Chain A
Amino acid sequence: MIRRNKLTTNRKQYAVYWIVFAFMMIYVVLVLYPYVWAFLSSVSTDSYRENAGKLLPSLANGIDFSGFQRFFAYEIHTLDGQGVEYVYGFFDLVGNTLFLCVTRTTLSLAFPIMAAYCYTNYRFKGRQFFFFYGVVMTFVPIYGGMSFTYQWMYELNLYDTYIAVWFMAIAPFANFLFYFAFFKGISWNYAEAAFIDGAGHFAVFFRVMLPQLAGIIAVFFVNAFIGAWNDWMTNYLYLPSKPQVAYAIYLVQGEATRVSDYQMFYSAVMIGLIVPLIVFAIFSKKILSTVYTGGLKG
């Protein structure tokens, strides 16, 4: 492995190097500062008025977690299309979020993986068309599709149902080229050996080929899971009566602003941050390495 050398030994260029580094550090401060401020605000005993204008809220009078308690006790009220009211407590929100995250993430990964495996390893009629379709359609931008989506959801009575959300999660071409490249890199000899031993096509896929990509798939799963956990727009647009945590933050914002309970809102924001941060902390090395891999060919 070639060790990267220092950028330069030239004094003038060294100055440029440090200017860029200083700029990066400023950006780092700008990225981190708002989160630190929001966290301190969520636990500060002083009210938002007392902290007004301060660069960082004061903790001199102690730490107060009552904002978190109020958010945990807060109930979200939603109505479905038939006018039925639903009440969600915090743990209902978490349960619903986990349910949606796992199902959507699984669907969004499973179908492209299955399609890429078949395309890579099987020859059948229409195979070339499949690839052509996948590549061409992803590069032809047709805007305004939301109007169709809405119209059909209402006509098929799918609006505000889990089925609609799952249906939209099925995208056979999402990351298709990634999976195609991964499967191409696995020798078919493993499969042939398994076939000789009497394994069927499903057994070969699930027990021989798929486990070889377990690491990569896990990273994609984590990335998609974080995306699904953070997603508030699906609720806002298609599934308003079954809120996730992110959508609850959106709903809480309105209420908190109305009653000036900003501490509860800061707490809600912190809750929204925690899960992605924990997942990222655990998998950051893997996630960043995948981003790096993804950046290779653009």
Chain B
Amino acid sequence: MNELKIEAENKAAAPRKPLKKRKHGLMQGPQAMFFVAVFMFVPFLIGIVWDLFGKFATISLMFRDQYGTGFGFYWISWAFRELFTTSSHVFISLTVAGKVVALNLFIFTPLQFVMGFFFSRKMPFERALRTIFFLPSIISQIVTVAIFQLMFDNSFGPLLEFAKLFTGGELPLEGLLYNKDTAFTMILIYMAWVGLGGPVIILTATLNKVPEELYEASRLEGISMWGEFIHIAVPMSSQMLSVYFLNNMLSGFSIYTEILLLTDPAQSNVYSFAYLITQGSIAGQYYRSASIGFICTIIAIPIVAIVRWAADRFLPDTSV
């Protein structure tokens, strides 16, 4: 009797098996299957056709012979030769991408992060500033590009006098946006004009979630504002910064509208990968475009892999 009692007590004391988590979503019956098919598999199939199949088809376009009729490495080897020929459009695109990435990483992002930090602490007219900072993000690129062009138009642009301060008083006859020496700088100025503000708002959002107690505690310890920035703001948003870092690393490949609309590459000799791929595709040069895409892909995949690995490996999971 005692043994039975002990056994019963032991059973009662023993940790219970966790209840099997009920899988909700009534997947019984044809109605549920039809629902999932309509809501999930149809869009999924469309996604696969357009996305997965598209990616494989693009890869197949890269590996073609000279005439595009069979498998080969003609276009890939052409793209590599171009990549190492300093006067080629592909090489120029690589240098443009590198410069844009460097500008983003070393000037724009730190500047945006500092502004985000100050926004997250306290700023006068914060709401109005936020709205104005975000404004270029909601206006069509065709509008911003057009206005920028007019601002620096060679015959009546209101900012020409201002530009002369930086060009030693002389302006190129063909215009600042079409001159080989000034076109790329003008594109960078345009990118700063429209692209600096929007990310500040997103970075502010991240920084706003840093617990106020951390700042208060640090102040009690006598940490300066610089210390707050370096020892609290940066580590607490490091995961977010890694995503930014990655986006910036890839941003150099995707410049298109700026080059298409702001300048004439034939005159200014400014090219980008996205420009070459898109214009090549429009002109029906599919293999050439796909092989330039291959160059971008083999540069981008290691970047993505390394940045993600480094973020997981070295950054503390302190995202806020």
Contact = CB atoms under 8 A, between A and B. Distances in A.
Are A and B associated in one complex?
Answer: yes
Interface string A115-141: 101110111100000100100010111
| Size class of the A contact interface (CB-based, 8 Å) | 35 or more
A201 B129 CA distance: 46
A173 interface: yes
A157 interface: no
Contact of B243 (A150, A226, A298): A298
B150 interface: yes
A31 B32 contact: no
A4 B122 CA distance: 7
Contacts of A150: 281-282, 284, 286
Interface stretch (B8-16, B45-53, B180-188, B263-271): B45-53
B290 A276 contact: no
B61 A27 contact: no
Contacts of A53: 156, 158, 160-161
Contact of B143 (A143, A148, A200, A273): A273
Classify the interface of chain A: helix, strand, loop or mixed. helix
Nearest to A110: B43
Classify the interface of chain B: helix, strand, loop or mixed. helix
Interface string A227-267: 00111110001000000001101100100000000100110
Interface string A46-69: 001101111110000000000000
| Size class of the B contact interface (CB-based, 8 Å) | 35 or more
Contact of A276 (B46, B132, B139, B282): B139
Contacts of A122: 25, 27, 32, 35-36, 40
A213 interface: no
Contacts of B290: 144, 147-148
Contact of A296 (B26, B59, B206): B206
A31 B320 CA distance: 30
B147 A269 contact: yes
A130 B204 CA distance: 33
B108 interface: no
A295 interface: yes
Contacts of A276: 138-140
Nearest to B34: A201
A272 B61 contact: no
A293 B39 CA distance: 26
Interface stretch (B81-89, B170-178, B193-201): B193-201
A250 B260 CA distance: 12
B70 interface: no
Interface in B254-295: 257, 261, 273, 277-278, 280-282, 284-287, 289-294
A56 B296 CA distance: 44
A233 B274 CA distance: 13
Contact of A168 (B50, B141, B293): B50
B216 interface: yes
Contacts of B58: 142, 144-145, 147-148
B138 A121 contact: no
B24 interface: yes
A24 B293 contact: no
Contacts of A168: 50
Contacts of B248: none
Q: For A51, A151, A233, A293, which residue has the most chain B Cβ atoms within 10 angstroms?
A: A151
A259 B224 CA distance: 60
A86 interface: no
